[in-house]
Amino acid sequence: MNILLLGSGGREHALAWKMAASPLTDRLFCAPGNAGIAQEAECVAIDIADHAAVIAFCKANGIDLVVVGPEAPLCAGIVDDLEAVAIKTFGPSKAAARLEGSKGFTKDLCRANGIPTAAYERFHEAKPALAYLRARGAPIVVKADGLAAGKGVVVAQSLAEAEAALEMMFGGGLGEAGGAVVIEEFLDGEEASFFALCDGTTAIPLTTAQDHKRVFDGDRGPNTGGMGAYSPAPNIDAAMSARIMREIITPTLEAMQAMGAPYQGVLYAGLMITTQGPKLIEYNARFGDPETQVLMLRLMSDLVPALVAAREGQLKAFDLRWYAEPALTVVMAAKGYPGAYTRGSVIEGLDAASAVEGVQIFHAGTKAEAGQILANGGRVLNVSAIGKTVREAQARAYQAVSLIRWPEGFCRHDIGWRAIERET
Protein backbone atom coordinates (compact mmCIF):
# COMPACT_ATOMS: atom_id res chain seq x y z
CA MET A 1 0.00 0.00 0.00
CA ASN A 2 1.01 3.59 -0.56
CA ILE A 3 0.08 5.59 2.51
CA LEU A 4 -0.06 9.34 3.10
CA LEU A 5 0.07 10.53 6.71
CA LEU A 6 -1.01 14.10 7.46
CA GLY A 7 0.66 16.06 10.27
CA SER A 8 4.03 17.10 11.63
CA GLY A 9 4.23 16.31 15.35
CA GLY A 10 5.43 13.59 17.69
CA ARG A 11 2.13 11.77 17.27
CA GLU A 12 2.73 11.54 13.54
CA HIS A 13 6.35 10.43 14.04
CA ALA A 14 5.14 7.58 16.27
CA LEU A 15 2.46 6.60 13.73
CA ALA A 16 4.98 6.80 10.87
CA TRP A 17 7.49 4.67 12.84
CA LYS A 18 4.85 1.99 13.35
CA MET A 19 3.42 2.11 9.82
CA ALA A 20 6.87 2.03 8.23
CA ALA A 21 7.47 -1.27 10.05
CA SER A 22 4.42 -2.87 8.43
CA PRO A 23 5.01 -5.43 5.66
CA LEU A 24 1.88 -3.97 4.04
CA THR A 25 3.48 -0.57 3.56
CA ASP A 26 5.05 -0.01 0.18
CA ARG A 27 5.67 3.74 0.16
CA LEU A 28 4.95 5.98 3.13
CA PHE A 29 4.60 9.72 2.64
CA CYS A 30 4.02 12.40 5.24
CA ALA A 31 2.79 15.95 4.73
CA PRO A 32 4.40 18.10 5.93
CA GLY A 33 6.37 15.91 8.40
CA ASN A 34 9.51 16.85 10.33
CA ALA A 35 13.18 15.82 10.57
CA GLY A 36 12.39 12.66 12.57
CA ILE A 37 9.50 11.59 10.37
CA ALA A 38 11.86 11.96 7.40
CA GLN A 39 13.74 8.91 8.73
CA GLU A 40 10.58 6.81 8.28
CA ALA A 41 8.68 8.44 5.42
CA GLU A 42 9.10 10.65 2.38
CA CYS A 43 8.13 14.12 3.60
CA VAL A 44 6.25 16.29 1.14
CA ALA A 45 5.70 20.02 1.50
CA ILE A 46 1.95 20.18 1.02
CA ASP A 47 -0.27 22.58 2.95
CA ILE A 48 -2.74 20.11 4.48
CA ALA A 49 -5.36 22.84 4.84
CA ASP A 50 -5.43 22.89 1.03
CA HIS A 51 -7.62 19.84 0.41
CA ALA A 52 -7.35 20.14 -3.38
CA ALA A 53 -3.56 19.94 -3.11
CA VAL A 54 -3.81 16.83 -0.91
CA ILE A 55 -6.19 15.21 -3.42
CA ALA A 56 -3.89 16.03 -6.33
CA PHE A 57 -0.93 14.49 -4.50
CA CYS A 58 -2.91 11.31 -3.73
CA LYS A 59 -3.93 10.91 -7.36
CA ALA A 60 -0.44 11.54 -8.70
CA ASN A 61 1.13 9.05 -6.28
CA GLY A 62 -1.43 6.23 -6.20
CA ILE A 63 -2.21 6.68 -2.52
CA ASP A 64 -4.26 3.75 -1.15
CA LEU A 65 -4.86 5.17 2.33
CA VAL A 66 -4.67 8.60 3.94
CA VAL A 67 -4.22 8.75 7.72
CA VAL A 68 -5.12 12.05 9.35
CA GLY A 69 -3.16 12.96 12.51
CA PRO A 70 -4.40 16.32 13.87
CA GLU A 71 -7.92 17.55 14.65
CA ALA A 72 -8.01 20.72 12.58
CA PRO A 73 -8.20 19.00 9.16
CA LEU A 74 -10.80 16.55 10.53
CA CYS A 75 -13.03 19.38 11.72
CA ALA A 76 -12.45 21.12 8.36
CA GLY A 77 -13.86 18.06 6.58
CA ILE A 78 -10.77 16.64 4.90
CA VAL A 79 -12.08 13.08 5.28
CA ASP A 80 -15.32 14.01 3.48
CA ASP A 81 -13.41 15.71 0.66
CA LEU A 82 -11.01 12.79 0.14
CA GLU A 83 -13.68 10.10 0.37
CA ALA A 84 -15.84 12.07 -2.10
CA VAL A 85 -13.20 11.41 -4.75
CA ALA A 86 -12.78 7.75 -3.69
CA ILE A 87 -9.57 8.19 -1.68
CA LYS A 88 -9.77 5.91 1.35
CA THR A 89 -9.12 7.87 4.51
CA PHE A 90 -8.69 6.92 8.16
CA GLY A 91 -10.45 9.41 10.41
CA PRO A 92 -13.94 10.70 11.19
CA SER A 93 -16.07 12.77 8.84
CA LYS A 94 -16.68 16.42 9.62
CA ALA A 95 -20.06 15.56 11.14
CA ALA A 96 -18.54 12.83 13.33
CA ALA A 97 -15.57 15.03 14.34
CA ARG A 98 -18.06 17.35 16.07
CA LEU A 99 -17.40 15.11 19.08
CA GLU A 100 -14.17 17.11 19.37
CA GLY A 101 -15.09 20.26 17.44
CA SER A 102 -18.04 21.25 19.61
CA LYS A 103 -18.11 20.67 23.35
CA GLY A 104 -21.82 21.59 23.40
CA PHE A 105 -22.58 18.94 20.77
CA THR A 106 -20.89 16.28 22.90
CA LYS A 107 -22.54 17.41 26.12
CA ASP A 108 -25.98 17.31 24.50
CA LEU A 109 -25.23 13.85 23.09
CA CYS A 110 -24.27 12.64 26.56
CA ARG A 111 -27.43 14.10 28.10
CA ALA A 112 -29.68 12.57 25.43
CA ASN A 113 -28.11 9.12 25.79
CA GLY A 114 -27.48 8.85 29.52
CA ILE A 115 -23.68 8.93 29.13
CA PRO A 116 -22.07 9.93 32.45
CA THR A 117 -20.51 13.40 32.32
CA ALA A 118 -20.38 16.59 34.43
CA ALA A 119 -23.71 18.43 34.84
CA TYR A 120 -23.72 21.48 32.54
CA GLU A 121 -25.55 24.19 30.64
CA ARG A 122 -24.75 25.79 27.25
CA PHE A 123 -24.86 29.54 26.69
CA HIS A 124 -24.66 31.86 23.70
CA GLU A 125 -24.82 35.08 25.72
CA ALA A 126 -22.92 36.42 28.70
CA LYS A 127 -25.84 37.53 30.88
CA PRO A 128 -27.61 34.21 31.49
CA ALA A 129 -24.19 32.51 31.69
CA LEU A 130 -23.17 34.88 34.48
CA ALA A 131 -26.41 34.27 36.35
CA TYR A 132 -25.87 30.50 36.09
CA LEU A 133 -22.28 30.85 37.35
CA ARG A 134 -23.40 32.85 40.36
CA ALA A 135 -26.18 30.40 41.15
CA ARG A 136 -23.79 27.41 41.03
CA GLY A 137 -20.71 28.93 42.70
CA ALA A 138 -17.08 27.77 42.58
CA PRO A 139 -15.28 25.51 41.90
CA ILE A 140 -16.74 25.43 38.42
CA VAL A 141 -15.48 24.86 34.89
CA VAL A 142 -15.91 27.25 31.94
CA LYS A 143 -15.30 25.93 28.42
CA ALA A 144 -15.31 27.53 25.00
CA ASP A 145 -17.47 25.48 22.65
CA GLY A 146 -15.06 25.26 19.71
CA LEU A 147 -11.46 24.22 19.05
CA ALA A 148 -9.13 26.47 21.04
CA ALA A 149 -5.82 24.58 20.93
CA GLY A 150 -5.99 23.62 24.60
CA LYS A 151 -6.73 27.17 25.80
CA GLY A 152 -10.50 26.87 25.91
CA VAL A 153 -10.93 25.33 29.37
CA VAL A 154 -10.75 27.22 32.66
CA VAL A 155 -11.08 25.19 35.85
CA ALA A 156 -12.02 28.05 38.17
CA GLN A 157 -11.41 27.74 41.91
CA SER A 158 -13.16 31.06 42.57
CA LEU A 159 -16.18 32.84 41.15
CA ALA A 160 -13.96 35.78 40.13
CA GLU A 161 -11.79 33.47 38.05
CA ALA A 162 -14.87 31.95 36.40
CA GLU A 163 -16.32 35.37 35.62
CA ALA A 164 -13.03 36.50 34.10
CA ALA A 165 -12.97 33.40 31.88
CA LEU A 166 -16.51 34.06 30.73
CA GLU A 167 -15.69 37.68 29.97
CA MET A 168 -12.58 36.65 28.01
CA MET A 169 -14.49 34.06 25.92
CA PHE A 170 -17.57 36.17 25.16
CA GLY A 171 -15.23 39.14 24.65
CA GLY A 172 -13.72 37.35 21.66
CA GLY A 173 -10.49 36.30 23.39
CA LEU A 174 -10.62 32.91 21.67
CA GLY A 175 -12.19 34.06 18.42
CA GLU A 176 -15.06 32.02 17.05
CA ALA A 177 -14.36 29.12 19.43
CA GLY A 178 -15.70 31.22 22.33
CA GLY A 179 -18.92 32.31 20.63
CA ALA A 180 -20.69 29.67 22.68
CA VAL A 181 -19.73 28.47 26.13
CA VAL A 182 -20.35 25.38 28.25
CA ILE A 183 -20.37 25.79 32.03
CA GLU A 184 -20.05 22.56 33.94
CA GLU A 185 -19.75 21.00 37.32
CA PHE A 186 -16.25 20.49 38.72
CA LEU A 187 -15.45 16.78 38.84
CA ASP A 188 -13.27 15.35 41.59
CA GLY A 189 -11.19 12.28 40.88
CA GLU A 190 -8.20 11.02 38.91
CA GLU A 191 -8.01 11.55 35.17
CA ALA A 192 -7.20 8.98 32.50
CA SER A 193 -7.24 8.83 28.73
CA PHE A 194 -9.03 5.96 27.04
CA PHE A 195 -8.64 5.17 23.35
CA ALA A 196 -10.99 3.16 21.15
CA LEU A 197 -10.73 2.24 17.48
CA CYS A 198 -14.08 2.64 15.75
CA ASP A 199 -15.44 1.53 12.39
CA GLY A 200 -18.85 3.21 12.55
CA THR A 201 -20.65 0.36 14.31
CA THR A 202 -18.01 -1.50 16.31
CA ALA A 203 -15.48 -0.10 18.76
CA ILE A 204 -12.52 -2.01 20.11
CA PRO A 205 -10.59 -0.68 23.08
CA LEU A 206 -7.01 0.28 22.38
CA THR A 207 -5.21 0.94 25.62
CA THR A 208 -5.08 3.71 28.20
CA ALA A 209 -2.70 6.47 29.25
CA GLN A 210 -2.24 9.35 31.64
CA ASP A 211 -0.54 12.61 30.78
CA HIS A 212 0.97 15.62 32.52
CA LYS A 213 -0.53 18.87 31.23
CA ARG A 214 1.22 21.43 33.46
CA VAL A 215 4.58 22.79 32.39
CA PHE A 216 6.53 22.46 35.66
CA ASP A 217 7.48 19.65 38.04
CA GLY A 218 4.85 18.80 40.63
CA ASP A 219 2.09 19.50 38.08
CA ARG A 220 2.43 23.26 38.56
CA GLY A 221 2.43 26.19 36.15
CA PRO A 222 0.36 26.87 33.06
CA ASN A 223 -1.31 24.20 30.95
CA THR A 224 0.44 22.89 27.86
CA GLY A 225 -0.35 20.47 25.07
CA GLY A 226 1.23 17.83 27.34
CA MET A 227 4.71 17.52 28.91
CA GLY A 228 4.76 13.74 29.16
CA ALA A 229 2.63 10.62 29.35
CA TYR A 230 2.69 6.95 30.23
CA SER A 231 0.63 3.89 29.41
CA PRO A 232 -1.27 2.02 30.72
CA ALA A 233 -3.24 4.23 33.12
CA PRO A 234 -2.88 2.51 36.51
CA ASN A 235 -6.42 3.51 37.52
CA ILE A 236 -8.11 1.57 34.68
CA ASP A 237 -8.21 -2.19 35.15
CA ALA A 238 -10.05 -4.68 32.92
CA ALA A 239 -13.36 -4.22 34.77
CA MET A 240 -13.15 -0.42 34.53
CA SER A 241 -12.24 -0.68 30.85
CA ALA A 242 -15.31 -2.84 30.19
CA ARG A 243 -17.45 -0.34 32.10
CA ILE A 244 -16.10 2.58 30.05
CA MET A 245 -16.88 0.70 26.84
CA ARG A 246 -20.40 -0.13 28.05
CA GLU A 247 -21.36 3.21 29.61
CA ILE A 248 -19.50 5.70 27.41
CA ILE A 249 -17.95 4.47 24.14
CA THR A 250 -20.64 2.09 22.86
CA PRO A 251 -23.61 4.42 23.49
CA THR A 252 -21.68 7.23 21.79
CA LEU A 253 -21.07 5.09 18.72
CA GLU A 254 -24.74 4.08 18.62
CA ALA A 255 -25.90 7.68 18.96
CA MET A 256 -23.59 8.87 16.18
CA GLN A 257 -24.80 6.12 13.88
CA ALA A 258 -28.45 6.88 14.70
CA MET A 259 -27.99 10.53 13.70
CA GLY A 260 -26.43 9.55 10.37
CA ALA A 261 -22.88 10.48 11.34
CA PRO A 262 -21.23 7.11 12.03
CA TYR A 263 -17.90 7.51 13.80
CA GLN A 264 -14.84 5.98 12.13
CA GLY A 265 -11.36 6.54 13.48
CA VAL A 266 -9.82 6.80 16.91
CA LEU A 267 -12.13 8.00 19.63
CA TYR A 268 -10.09 9.42 22.50
CA ALA A 269 -12.06 9.86 25.70
CA GLY A 270 -10.67 12.13 28.41
CA LEU A 271 -12.15 10.70 31.60
CA MET A 272 -12.45 11.52 35.27
CA ILE A 273 -12.60 8.37 37.38
CA THR A 274 -14.84 9.52 40.24
CA THR A 275 -16.20 7.70 43.25
CA GLN A 276 -19.39 7.22 41.23
CA GLY A 277 -17.53 5.72 38.29
CA PRO A 278 -16.05 7.00 35.03
CA LYS A 279 -17.30 10.32 33.66
CA LEU A 280 -16.54 11.80 30.27
CA ILE A 281 -14.63 15.11 30.38
CA GLU A 282 -14.22 15.45 26.65
CA TYR A 283 -13.78 13.59 23.40
CA ASN A 284 -10.98 14.01 20.90
CA ALA A 285 -11.48 12.73 17.38
CA ARG A 286 -7.94 11.48 16.81
CA PHE A 287 -4.91 9.91 18.46
CA GLY A 288 -3.58 11.85 21.46
CA ASP A 289 -0.28 13.69 21.51
CA PRO A 290 1.93 12.70 23.40
CA GLU A 291 -0.12 9.60 24.33
CA THR A 292 0.29 8.02 20.88
CA GLN A 293 4.03 7.96 21.40
CA VAL A 294 3.61 5.56 24.32
CA LEU A 295 0.75 3.65 22.71
CA MET A 296 2.82 2.83 19.63
CA LEU A 297 5.71 1.55 21.78
CA ARG A 298 3.27 -0.86 23.45
CA LEU A 299 1.45 -2.01 20.31
CA MET A 300 2.63 -5.49 19.35
CA SER A 301 0.30 -5.90 16.34
CA ASP A 302 0.72 -4.30 12.95
CA LEU A 303 -1.04 -0.91 12.95
CA VAL A 304 -1.83 -0.74 9.22
CA PRO A 305 -4.43 -3.56 9.05
CA ALA A 306 -6.14 -2.06 12.11
CA LEU A 307 -6.51 1.32 10.39
CA VAL A 308 -7.76 -0.38 7.21
CA ALA A 309 -10.26 -2.50 9.16
CA ALA A 310 -11.62 0.63 10.84
CA ARG A 311 -12.02 2.36 7.48
CA GLU A 312 -13.65 -0.75 5.95
CA GLY A 313 -16.11 -1.37 8.79
CA GLN A 314 -14.46 -4.67 9.68
CA LEU A 315 -13.48 -4.34 13.32
CA LYS A 316 -16.01 -6.87 14.56
CA ALA A 317 -13.61 -9.80 14.39
CA PHE A 318 -10.45 -7.77 14.85
CA ASP A 319 -7.96 -8.32 17.63
CA LEU A 320 -5.02 -6.14 18.65
CA ARG A 321 -2.22 -7.29 20.92
CA TRP A 322 -0.23 -5.13 23.30
CA TYR A 323 2.95 -5.57 25.26
CA ALA A 324 2.18 -5.71 28.97
CA GLU A 325 5.23 -3.54 29.74
CA PRO A 326 4.51 0.12 30.47
CA ALA A 327 5.91 2.92 28.32
CA LEU A 328 6.62 6.52 29.21
CA THR A 329 7.49 9.64 27.24
CA VAL A 330 9.20 12.84 28.35
CA VAL A 331 8.55 15.94 26.26
CA MET A 332 11.53 18.21 25.64
CA ALA A 333 10.34 21.71 24.85
CA ALA A 334 11.99 24.99 23.86
CA LYS A 335 12.63 27.27 26.86
CA GLY A 336 9.71 29.67 27.21
CA TYR A 337 7.05 27.19 26.09
CA PRO A 338 4.04 27.37 26.42
CA GLY A 339 4.75 31.11 26.14
CA ALA A 340 7.11 32.70 23.60
CA TYR A 341 10.13 30.66 22.50
CA THR A 342 12.72 30.82 19.76
CA ARG A 343 13.30 28.38 16.92
CA GLY A 344 16.47 27.28 15.22
CA SER A 345 18.69 26.15 18.14
CA VAL A 346 20.90 23.13 17.45
CA ILE A 347 20.17 19.75 19.07
CA GLU A 348 23.02 17.25 19.47
CA GLY A 349 23.51 13.82 21.00
CA LEU A 350 20.38 12.21 19.57
CA ASP A 351 22.20 9.12 18.29
CA ALA A 352 23.70 8.31 21.68
CA ALA A 353 20.36 8.99 23.38
CA SER A 354 18.51 6.69 20.97
CA ALA A 355 20.97 3.88 21.75
CA VAL A 356 19.80 3.62 25.40
CA GLU A 357 18.01 0.29 25.86
CA GLY A 358 14.26 0.48 25.27
CA VAL A 359 14.39 4.10 24.08
CA GLN A 360 12.76 5.56 21.01
CA ILE A 361 12.97 9.28 20.31
CA PHE A 362 10.11 10.85 18.41
CA HIS A 363 10.46 14.31 16.91
CA ALA A 364 7.64 16.72 17.66
CA GLY A 365 8.99 19.95 16.18
CA THR A 366 12.32 19.71 14.39
CA LYS A 367 13.84 20.39 11.02
CA ALA A 368 17.07 19.23 9.38
CA GLU A 369 19.43 21.82 7.95
CA ALA A 370 22.99 21.36 6.72
CA GLY A 371 23.25 18.01 8.47
CA GLN A 372 22.05 19.37 11.83
CA ILE A 373 18.80 18.91 13.72
CA LEU A 374 17.23 22.23 14.69
CA ALA A 375 14.37 22.98 17.09
CA ASN A 376 11.35 24.11 15.14
CA GLY A 377 8.47 24.35 17.59
CA GLY A 378 7.41 24.60 21.24
CA ARG A 379 7.32 20.90 21.95
CA VAL A 380 10.37 19.57 20.15
CA LEU A 381 11.25 15.98 21.16
CA ASN A 382 9.44 13.06 22.80
CA VAL A 383 12.02 10.92 24.55
CA SER A 384 10.14 7.66 25.00
CA ALA A 385 10.98 4.32 26.58
CA ILE A 386 9.48 0.98 27.44
CA GLY A 387 10.50 -0.95 30.56
CA LYS A 388 9.47 -3.73 32.92
CA THR A 389 8.02 -1.11 35.28
CA VAL A 390 7.12 2.57 34.96
CA ARG A 391 10.15 3.28 37.12
CA GLU A 392 12.42 1.47 34.65
CA ALA A 393 10.84 3.17 31.63
CA GLN A 394 11.27 6.52 33.38
CA ALA A 395 14.93 5.82 34.24
CA ARG A 396 15.65 4.88 30.62
CA ALA A 397 13.92 7.96 29.24
CA TYR A 398 15.78 10.31 31.58
CA GLN A 399 19.09 8.59 30.85
CA ALA A 400 18.47 9.36 27.18
CA VAL A 401 17.49 12.94 28.04
CA SER A 402 20.82 13.37 29.86
CA LEU A 403 22.67 12.48 26.64
CA ILE A 404 20.89 15.13 24.57
CA ARG A 405 22.86 18.35 24.26
CA TRP A 406 20.38 21.15 23.80
CA PRO A 407 20.91 24.11 26.17
CA GLU A 408 17.87 25.94 24.77
CA GLY A 409 15.53 23.11 25.76
CA PHE A 410 13.97 21.89 29.01
CA CYS A 411 11.79 19.09 30.31
CA ARG A 412 9.96 18.06 33.46
CA HIS A 413 11.86 15.67 35.71
CA ASP A 414 8.96 13.87 37.34
CA ILE A 415 6.94 12.36 34.48
CA GLY A 416 5.13 9.28 35.78
CA TRP A 417 5.45 10.18 39.47
CA ARG A 418 1.94 9.14 40.34
CA ALA A 419 2.26 5.75 38.64
CA ILE A 420 5.65 5.16 40.28
CA GLU A 421 4.22 6.02 43.68
CA ARG A 422 1.62 3.31 43.09
CA GLU A 423 4.31 0.79 42.08
CA THR A 424 6.20 1.30 45.30
Candidates 28, 35, 72, 141; binder of ligand AMP (CB under 6 A) is: 141
Among 31, 248, 281, 347, binds ligand AMP (CB under 6 A): 281
Rounded distance between C-alpha atoms, residue 178 and residue 117, angstroms = 21
Query: Which residue, 181 or 281, is less far from ligand AMP as judged by CB?
Result: 281
Q: Choose, by CB under 6 A, the member of 184, 199, 289, 392 that binds ligand AMP.
A: 184
Number of residues that bind ligand AMP (CB under 6 A): 12
Q: Is 186 in the site for ligand AMP (CB under 6 A)?
A: yes
CB of 270 to ligand AMP, least distance (A): 4
Distance (Å, whole) CA 116 – CA 267: 16
187 near ligand AMP, rule: CB under 6 A: yes
- Looking at 44, 53, 138, 155, which residue binds ligand AMP (CB under 6 A)? 155
Rounded to a whole number of angstroms, the minimum distance from the CB of residue 214 to ligand AMP is: 10
Q: Is 203 in the site for ligand AMP (CB under 6 A)?
A: no
End-to-end CA distance of the chain: 46
Q: How far is the CB of 216 from ligand AMP (least distance, A)?
A: 16
The one among 153, 261, 368, 403 contacting ligand AMP by CB under 6 A: 153
Specify whether the CB–CB gap between 263 and 91 falls below 8 A: no
Of the two residues 58 and 192, which places its CB atom closer to ligand AMP in the complex?
Answer: 192
CB of 119 to ligand AMP, least distance (A): 9
Closer residue to ligand AMP in complex, CB, 117/202: 117
- The minimum distance between CB 185 and ligand AMP, in angstroms, equals 6
> Could you say which of 95, 118, 271, 294 contacts ligand AMP (CB under 6 A)?
118
Q: State yes or no: residue 282 binds ligand AMP (CB under 6 A).
A: yes
* Residue 373 in the binding site for ligand AMP (CB under 6 A): no
Show the site string, 318-337: x = touches ligand AMP by CB under 6 A, - = not: --------------------
d(CA 293, CA 228): 10
CB 182, min distance to ligand AMP, A: 9
Type of residue found at 220: R
Q: Judged by CB under 6 A, which stretch of 70-78, 182-190, 195-203, 385-393 contacts ligand AMP? A: 182-190
141 or 198: CB nearest ligand AMP: 141
Interface positions with ligand AMP (CB under 6 A): 118, 141, 153, 155, 184-187, 191, 270, 281-282
